[in-house]
Amino acid sequence: MSLLPLFYRAAVPLDREVHRDLHLARPQRFGFARISHLVPAVVDEFEPACRHLPILFVAESHGPTPVFLTGLVPGRCALVDEAGAWSGRYLPAYLRRYPFILGETGEAPPLVCLDDTSEAVRREADAADPPGYAPLFQGDGRDTPLLQERMRLMIEYAEAARRTAAFGRTLQDLGLLRAVTVQGRDPATGESHALHGVLGVDEAALAALPGDGLLRLHREGGLAAVHAHLVSLQAVADFALVFAPPEPAGPAPAARVQDAAA
């Protein structure tokens, strides 16, 4: 692979012999996610996540792609603590599946890959391994329940990603997306930040959508997702409160979404 997805430094096929002694960190740690204030989202997550994380869209070559906003400062996730634990109220599936990923080979069954450079994996023979790592394979070479669960998650995520791509194209076809700017204040420094280059559903365009367009959105299962996205934008007004550590006094950090043209 020449271009790897966000957070992945490698993607090698999972091999029952080569990786026979590989162990996975339990519980999961998310220090790898500190480098991004945006995390990919799939449409299946919109409803369970909408009251906890703002959902926005970014323009990609294949169409608009949804993302969770996880920090006020570009390039810095505010929901991973010093120990690498996730402190948010909703944990995105993209993070849950790491360090695994399905290879895009067009074959069936799909090729299971993993980032073998990740700190989430260790070899049993490595004496430096800290406690809290569980094996991927049983002694007889069969998959452990842990690996089976991760493989189910990867397959479900890949299926949801296809639905998400179709949803993004529908929003684009119907002209429902507008450029927005997210403005907020870093709770640590008090500095103001503005996030440009993201998209949101235009409520005016949605209200003016012709009947056939609305019917298409409904038939494709996108109407509920649109409403969940709009609900999530309400969380932008107070998401800095969620990200900021408790403070004994002083004004709360503020954040808001506005039209990019405003």
Per-residue confidence (pLDDT) for residue 105, from 0 to 100 = 59
184 falls within a domain: yes
224-251: per-residue pLDDT in tens? Answer: 999 999 999 887 766 666 665 544 434 4
Distance CA(101)–CA(44), nearest Å, equals: 18
> What is the amino acid identity at position 17?
E
* Residue 86 CB coordination number (10 Å): 20
Per-residue confidence (pLDDT) for residue 40, from 0 to 100 = 98
> What is the amino acid identity at position 190?
G
**How many residues would you count in the chain?**
262
2 falls within a domain: no
User: pTM for the full model?
Assistant: 0.87
Q: With beta carbons less than 8 A apart as the criterion, state whether 37 and 77 touch.
A: yes
> What is the amino acid identity at position 246?
P
109 falls within a domain: yes
Distance CA(109)–CA(106), nearest Å, equals: 9
191-200: per-residue pLDDT in tens? Answer: 788 888 899 9
Average of pLDDT values for 175-196?
A: 83
Distance CA(6)–CA(208), nearest Å, equals: 36
Of 227, 196, 254, 198, give the one whose Cα is nearest residue 47.
227
262 falls within a domain: no
152-175: per-residue pLDDT in tens? Answer: 999 999 999 999 999 999 999 999
Counted domains in the chain: 1
3 falls within a domain: no
7 falls within a domain: no
